[in-house]
Structure 1
Amino acid sequence: MKKIVPVSSKKELSIFIDFPHDLYKNDPNYVPELFIAQRDLLTTHPFHKHNQLQAFLAFDNDKVIGRIAAILNNTSNEFNHVNDGFWGFFDCIDDQETADLLFSTAANWLKGKGVTQKFIGPVNFSTNEACGLLIKGFDSPPMLMMTYNAPYYETLVEKAGFAKQIDLIAWHWDGQNYDDRSVKLLEALKERLKRNNITIRNVNLKNFKEETVKLREVYNSAWDKNSGFVPLSDEEFNYLAKDLKLILDPDFALVAEQDGKIVGFGLALPNYNEIFKTIKRGRLLPTGLFKLLLNKSKIQSIRIYALGIVDGYRKMGIEACLYGTIIKEYKRKGFTHAEAGWTLENNTMINEAIKAIKGDPYKTYRLYEKAI
């Protein structure tokens, strides 16, 4: 007999986090999330101070067959002047009845919290975190901080009544197969920017706290017109920055600055999923930490995680300088492939720029919605 249980204990939370490991145990492209990171995301992340989340598990007798989280993102609703609810952390066996039960339970919880408009997902809080259902590109593992799911999820979600809201595109470069025009023009572009007192430099890790304050302003400004955007609070951005600092390579962490004011930044991250893939059930202890430390230098790929320019500074060549510098470092360090993503399908300016440097739109992720 199938039943839904709200997650309310540490044991149930562990079961919730671990369920995908069993579901995907035979999938060669599955990458386990780190247990400690998922636990903190679901319990102690600053998001929970102003918003609400309820996780649910689906059981068939004593066997776990699915999971979902209902997410009330008050910040998103206030910023976008809506009254929507979200779903995330969705995983399920290939069974429509189970999926329908999970979605209806999450929707009913949100209705009980006063949500009256749309039911949107998958988002693991908002578009600032991992989001989107993979619908194209199942032949390779996900890059760092990107989602992954089986192909049958698309049918489960659509048969549950959800329709496409928007697609998110991940772009790929293999080996040296990119247009390096921005590298060749890099010095000339930098000279042109200097005439406007704009310089490109690396993030100052020794003064990271002060840098973080400035970067949050740029982040919240550069993406504020994107569909579904939610500004990050000081605490949320600091939480993100603290995590990123642990894994970033300073050569790939760049800012554009005019007279001491940061007007843009670009950040590429080593693809730690290459290591996480080998860490059983996402546990760093007893051997996972050793694998992490031992294999850091063997990472072969990067993910261009973010590239944002403040309004009024776009189309000046800053984007090309940031991309050119990242490509130059990618080549110098001998990486074998790279991903940029994600970008919104309707962000024509950035998508055309990525196509111009031979980016291949190799994965597509979809956000879904329906009336609640």
Structure 2
Amino acid sequence: MKNIIRVSTKKELAAFIDFPHELYANDTNYVPELFIAQRDLLSPGKHPFHEHSEIQLFLAYEEDKIVGRIAAINNTNHNKLYNTKEGFFGFFDAVNDHEVVSLLMDAVKDWLSTKGFNKILGPVNLSTNETCGLLIEGFDGPPVAMMPYNAAYYLQRLEQLGFVKNVDLRAYRYTTGNYSERSVKLLDKIEERLQRNDIVIRKINMKNFNADKEAIREVYNKAWDKNLGFVPMTDKEFDYTAKDLKLILDPDFCILAEQKGKIVGFALAIPDINQIQIKIKRGRLFPTGLIKLLTGKKKIDGIRILLLGVIDGYRKMGIEACLYGNIIKSFSAKKMKYAEASWTLEHNDMINRPIEDIGGVLYRKYRILEKAI
């Protein structure tokens, strides 16, 4: 007998967070999320997303065993911005069973229907400012930092329920020796041309972090304004994210484009912390996880190029290529083994072309799905 329950207690929330550990117990590519981070992300009063929107978590049981989980998400800011009636699903994991997946999606559909929504999109955890997308190509290794992972059968199960492609997201990979040295060297000439327009490329100033952070916030919320489903972060959401990222930030991998004191673009790469998290059992920092985290940071030899944005009016000037190129230069100087640039929209040639020109190889794809209610 299979049934669905609404998560309403701390014990059920812990079970919701822990279910993927059981599901992927024999999958060597699975990286457990940190329990404390997931708990805060999903808890009203902890993460600022819940100040303007709402979620409902569900667990699927077969007898007394958990066989699936999912979140129904009402992103109020998304629907206000786009004047839509779209709901989302996220934090989706399930055994390879059509009935289980169907029950989970029915629970989401019913919850969203009561709020007047006419479409379901996902997976999105909680918005496009967090992890999103269903892995559909590239199951040959662990995900990098802050990227999702799922079993290969997920796509088929969701398509069986009538979900169709909304858009694909891309991940590119650089490895030592496979990026274009020639393209990187050409960046010096592009930077010289930019300087004639009073645009300089520089690293973030950690001594003036708060001022640079505020400038980056403005660029972030402007540069992605036309991307699919993007919703600007609230001030509290941005501060929450910046506080977390600062803990692992390397200024060599946070590059800004500035014109006469105004930040017009930036790129950010972070260490692939998943190299450590994959060794932290069930995502628990205690008793040994914290030690692994602290002692393992210096051994990380990969990065994820997490963000790159240039505001309107400064695009197609070569700034995007210079931002990427400076990160790849640091990647090379630090003798790192790989860099992933992710994610980008499949049709965003303005970003994808510079990545490919410098030697990025498309190696993973993720998909946002949709279905009418």
* TM-score (norm. length: structure 2): 0.98
1:67 aligns with 2:69: yes
**Contact 2:320-2:354 at 8 Å conserved across structures:** no
Residue 185 of structure 2 aligns to which amino acid in structure 1? Answer: K
* Matched residue, 2:213: 212
**Contact 2:58-2:71 at 8 Å conserved across structures:** yes
**Contact 1:182-1:320 at 8 Å conserved across structures:** no
For 1:291 and 1:207, the matched residues in 2 are separated by: 30
Offset, 1:225: 0.6
* Matched residue, 1:106: 108
Residue 19 of structure 2 aligns to which amino acid in structure 1? Answer: F
Offset, 1:156: 1.1
For 2:351 and 2:184, the matched residues in 1 are separated by: 18
For 1:122 and 1:295, the matched residues in 2 are separated by: 31
Residue correspondences, number: 371
For 1:301 and 1:42, the matched residues in 2 are separated by: 28
Q: Secondary structure at the match of 2:239?
A: helix
**Contact 1:56-1:68 at 8 Å conserved across structures:** yes
1:30 aligns with 2:27: no
* Matched residue, 1:263: 264
For 1:165 and 1:300, the matched residues in 2 are separated by: 34
Q: Which runs of 5+ in 1 are unaligned?
A: none
**Contact 1:304-1:339 at 8 Å conserved across structures:** yes
Cα RMSD of the aligned pairs, angstroms, is: 1.0
For 1:356 and 1:199, the matched residues in 2 are separated by: 22
For 1:336 and 1:319, the matched residues in 2 are separated by: 23
**Contact 1:176-1:336 at 8 Å conserved across structures:** no
1:25-174 equivalences in 2 (<5 Å): 25-43=25-43, 44-115=46-117, 117-174=118-175
Offset, 1:282: 0.4
**Contact 2:266-2:310 at 8 Å conserved across structures:** yes
**Contact 1:180-1:324 at 8 Å conserved across structures:** no
Identity %: 60
Bigger shift: residues 174-183 or 5-14? 174-183
**Contact 2:121-2:370 at 8 Å conserved across structures:** yes
For 1:233 and 1:182, the matched residues in 2 are separated by: 37
**Contact 2:266-2:323 at 8 Å conserved across structures:** yes
**Contact 2:321-2:355 at 8 Å conserved across structures:** no
For 1:207 and 1:83, the matched residues in 2 are separated by: 41
Residue 35 of structure 2 aligns to which amino acid in structure 1? Answer: F
Offset, 1:108: 0.5
**Contact 2:61-2:68 at 8 Å conserved across structures:** yes
Offset, 1:53: 0.4
Residue 94 of structure 1 aligns to which amino acid in structure 2? Answer: N
Q: Which runs of 5+ in 2 are unaligned?
A: none
Offset, 1:111: 1.2
Offset, 1:174: 1.9
Bigger shift: residues 167-176 or 130-139? 167-176
